[in-house]
């Protein structure tokens, strides 16, 4: 996906947010550095995820912190674990357990801070969870997703945020019930609120996936040009790729990897329009 005008204030807002978390006195320096990278990137219509990666790398250097969202990630994991019983009951009672598991997984996608998601912190997540699952799936290609799973032997599951990964549990379990091996992938280095190997271990999700690895990189979404060759080969050899969240959509939507199932909440207009949904829709989109 290309970086566009709507992405400018969003990315700058992220810069300010993460700077204020740990080094508010560096705000002006961080914004200036962001602008220096954003202006040419916007004019050249670079890939939005790759440009955001460059901006965050520069800002992290300025603020002198390799994981400014660490406290938020820990609180997000705790907030998600509090709703696990409710989520398990919802999936168990639903007439379509795969569709219900997708909804629970999407609800976790709102644990993403530095953008407008309707909550100010992880402690408000339970109420938002109820709202998201009641809303249902706006762009709903779950039946095609199910059909692809029925013919699959192995799936690569690209995770997104801390906290969110806790609620991916039910979707992973549903896929495993169908006899499919699920390989989870987390970020190789801390970036934004995204899950890393530490989150896999802290939440127990490392034992839920049949196997797991990391992207081996600091990147918003995944940059296939810099990814380890074993991961690239795993993606190319997978019967199906599940990509959680907007950043994975932004980074993969122009790549040739197929089939991919994008599972996310469309939290901004550019992503919503690109994927064929409306802003704030819950999305299960199959790209073949």
The secondary structure element, H or E, covering residue 213 is: strand 211-214
Q: What is the pTM of this model?
A: 0.96
Per-residue pLDDT of 160-210, as tens digits, reads 999 999 999 999 999 999 999 999 999 999 999 999 999 999 999 999 999
Q: Are residues 97 and 121 in the same domain?
A: yes
Could you give the number of structural domains in the chain? 2
* CA–CA separation, 195 and 165 (whole Å): 7
Dist. CA 8–CA 64, nearest whole Å: 23
pLDDT-based confidence at 219, cuts 50/70/90? very high
pLDDT-derived band at 277, boundaries 50, 70, 90: very high
Q: Give the tokens for residue 24.
A: 């508010």
Angstrom CA distances, 188 to 27, 50, 120, 240, 260, stand at 27, 16, 27, 22, 21
95 and 141, same domain (yes or no): yes
Question: For residue 115, what pLDDT band results from cuts at 50, 70 and 90?
Answer: confident
Q: Name the DSSP letter for residue 237.
A: H
Dist. CA 217–CA 174, nearest whole Å: 29
Same domain, residue pair 210 and 229: yes
The band of 120, judged by pLDDT with boundaries at 50, 70 and 90, is confident
Q: Same structural domain for residues 118 and 156?
A: yes
Q: 114 pLDDT exceeds 90?
A: no
- Residues 57 and 115 reside in one and the same domain: no
Residue 117 — very low, low, confident or very high, per pLDDT cuts 50/70/90?
Answer: confident
- 59 and 84 assigned to the same domain: no
């Amino acid at each position: 996906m290309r970086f566009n005008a709507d992405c400018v204030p969003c990315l700058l807002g992220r810069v300010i947010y993460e700077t204020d978390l740990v080094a508010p006195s560096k705000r002006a320096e961080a914004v200036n550095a962001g602008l220096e990278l954003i202006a040419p990137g916007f004019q050249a219509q670079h890939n939005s995820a790759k440009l955001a990666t460059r901006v965050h790398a520069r800002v992290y250097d300025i603020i002198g912190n390799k994981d400014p969202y660490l406290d938020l990630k820990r609180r997000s994991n705790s907030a998600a674990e509090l709703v696990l019983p409710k989520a398990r009951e919802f999936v168990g009672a639903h007439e379509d357990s795969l569709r219900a598991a997708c909804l629970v997984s999407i609800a976790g996608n709102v644990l993403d801070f530095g953008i407008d998601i309707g909550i100010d912190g992880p402690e408000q997540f339970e109420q938002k969870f109820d709202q998201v699952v009641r809303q249902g799936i706006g762009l709903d290609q779950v039946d095609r997703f199910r059909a692809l799973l029925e013919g699959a032997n192995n799936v690569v599951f690209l995770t997104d945020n801390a906290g969110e990964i806790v609620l991916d549990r039910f979707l992973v379990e549903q896929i495993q019930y169908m006899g499919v091996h699920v390989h989870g992938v987390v970020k190789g280095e801390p970036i934004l609120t995204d899950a890393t190997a530490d989150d896999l271990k802290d939440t127990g999700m490392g034992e839920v996936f049949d196997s797991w690895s990391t992207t081996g990189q600091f990147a918003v979404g995944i940059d296939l040009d810099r990814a380890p060759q074993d991961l690239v080969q795993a993606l190319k050899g997978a019967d199906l790729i599940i990509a959680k969240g907007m950043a994975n959509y932004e980074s993969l939507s122009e790549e040739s990897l197929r089939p991919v199932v994008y599972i996310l909440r469309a939290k901004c207009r550019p992503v919503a329009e690109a994927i064929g949904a409306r802003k704030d829709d819950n999305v299960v989109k199959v790209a073949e």
